[in-house]
Amino acid sequence: MTDNSPIIEVKHINKQFGDFTALSDVSLTVNRGETIAIIGPSGSGKSTLLRSINYLEQINSGEIIINGKTLVSTPQDKAIYVSDKEIRRICSDLGMIFQHFNLFPHMTCLRNITYAPIKVKKIAKARAEAEAKCLLAMVDLSGKEDSYPAMLSGGQKQRVAIARGLAMHPAVMLFDEPTSALDPEITGEVLAVMKKLAEDQMTMLVVTHEMGFAKEVADRVIFMADGRIVEQGTPRQIFDTPQSDRLKSFLRSVLRS
Amino acid sequence: MSETFDYILLILPALLQGTKIIVVMFFMTLIFAIPLGLPLALGSDSKVLPVRWACRAYVFIFRGTPLMLQLFFIYFMLPIYFGLRIDALPAAIITFVLNYAAYLSEIYRGGIGSIERGQYEASICLGLNKFQTMFDIIIPQAIKRVLPSVTNEMITLVKDTALVSVLGVADLMKNSRAAVNRDGSVMAYLVAAIIYLILNAVLTKLSYRFEDKLSRHEVRCNR
């Protein structure tokens, strides 16, 4: 079973926030099983790119195709989205992990994970719970089923959030700075889970400041600055033989610290 | 001393009779105004402009005029202009429900607005529809945040019921005033004050208990 069609196609998208250009003519193709790290200085548009792909931001023009289904296109000069219902269907192929976890604080870990499968996918409760327990085991949190998010550490919360995302069986997982809100000593436990996912051929798009993760785990690294993709390539190409001055100076500043 | 005690026992039945009116008004207002405030709160922030205007106008009118005027309006004006004759107590209950729904809706609106954007974003990303997001994710969290303000309103409500005496309803206020005027002793006011305080003490206690129950997910693991 080999399907070589790209799972995400982003074509010439533009996004303005008022006068500020967040994304300028960005194009990107994500293939199945690929792990892509998006790096760049803050304000470079990397989070906006990720959030545009799953409709948390609306683009001004361009085209986004997910799993063969068009989310938004620009027949003339303005972006036109498909219907709300269609958007929900298309975006259900995408799982999203946030910097601040965004777990539901009034639900136990188990219910955080099972709520959407039961309510949205209409999966039987017993089955959803059994699967949630497997997912919790996968992220090394067995026994936390009945804990509320407030009882967990940041790293544990993020791992529950990953389990919650995976419970919907997305074709792609999007990570928006998943470790930026964590203490340095516990980022490792989250990165380990992500590495495991990458090894299991999960397609992942990761906005990150963790250069170590980008180097070690990513198949492809994308460097963004000023709303554009400036350079992309294998981790080797990006980190060992950067071409543009912008990337060189970025690497100097992050690797110095 | 025992004379005072005997006097209190003498006036107590009338005062307790009046207290019943408070309890009835309180629960009727609670039962209807608390749910009615929710559609008003959601409507006040609706993207459908006529809905938003209608809800905001409603809130403006009921917050912008005295409750006593509203009582008179419903009790005296409705029969005159619309031929609707309502007894004093139901008229008062209707007025209170309409008035308190307006206040509560603004409290709810604040509570719903205080929930972080990330909760909506997580809901969208998990494919929840607007209804599921609002009723299963946002509102359960908002309830805890608005509870102290709602309790405040409920305590005000207990005291506001004294206004129905202007429509001639024999509530605690009216009956105690009758006793004072009849017997030339202010003891009835003192007893009435104590009854109001007891009612609100019970209310406060219950609301704290409810708040604790809603906060259980915030308890840290060192318990």
Please state whether the predicted TM-score (pTM) of the whole model is above 0.90: no
Chain B residues whose CB is inside 8 A of the A115 CB are 126, 136
Mutate to test the interface with A, among B114, B126, B131, B141 (most CBs of A within 10 A): B126
Note the pLDDT of residue A151: 92
In angstroms, the CA B112 to CA B30 distance is 20
Q: What is the ipTM of this complex?
A: 0.91
Domain ranges of chain B: 2-222
A100–chain B nearest CA distance, Å: 8
CA–CA distance, B171 with B17 (Å, rounded to integer)? 7
pLDDT in tens, chain B (223 residues): 688 889 999 999 999 999 999 999 999 999 999 999 999 999 999 999 999 999 999 999 999 999 999 999 999 888 888 888 889 999 999 999 999 999 999 999 999 999 999 999 999 999 999 999 999 999 999 999 999 999 999 999 999 999 999 998 989 999 999 999 999 889 999 999 999 999 999 999 999 999 888 887 775 444 3
- Nearest CA distance, B131 vs chain A (angstrom): 11
pLDDT at site B223: 38
Task: Show the DSSP H helices in chain A as ranges.
Answer: 46-53, 84-91, 109-119, 125-138, 154-166, 184-199, 211-217, 235-240, 245-256
**CATH class of this structure's domain B2-222:** mainly alpha
Return per-residue pLDDT of chain A as tens, 257 residues.
Answer: 456 789 999 999 999 999 999 999 999 999 999 999 999 998 899 999 999 999 999 999 999 999 999 999 999 889 999 998 899 889 989 999 999 999 999 999 999 999 999 999 999 999 999 999 999 999 999 999 999 999 999 999 999 999 999 999 999 999 999 999 898 888 999 999 999 999 999 999 999 999 999 999 999 999 999 999 999 999 999 999 999 999 999 999 987 75
CA distance A175 to chain B (A): 12
Tokens 């498909």 label which residue? Answer: A82
Residue A151 to residue B219, Cβ atoms within 8 A = yes
pLDDT of the residue at A225: 93
- Which residues of B lie inside 8 Å of A (Cβ-Cβ)? 116, 118-119, 121-122, 124-129, 132, 136-137, 140-141, 144, 216-221
pLDDT at B219: 57
Residues in A touching B132 (Cβ below 8 Å): 119-120
Q: Are A180 and A195 in contact (CB under 8 A)?
A: no
Alpha-carbon span B68 to B118, nearest angstrom: 43
Closest of A230, A208, A228, A232 to residue A23, by C-alpha = A228
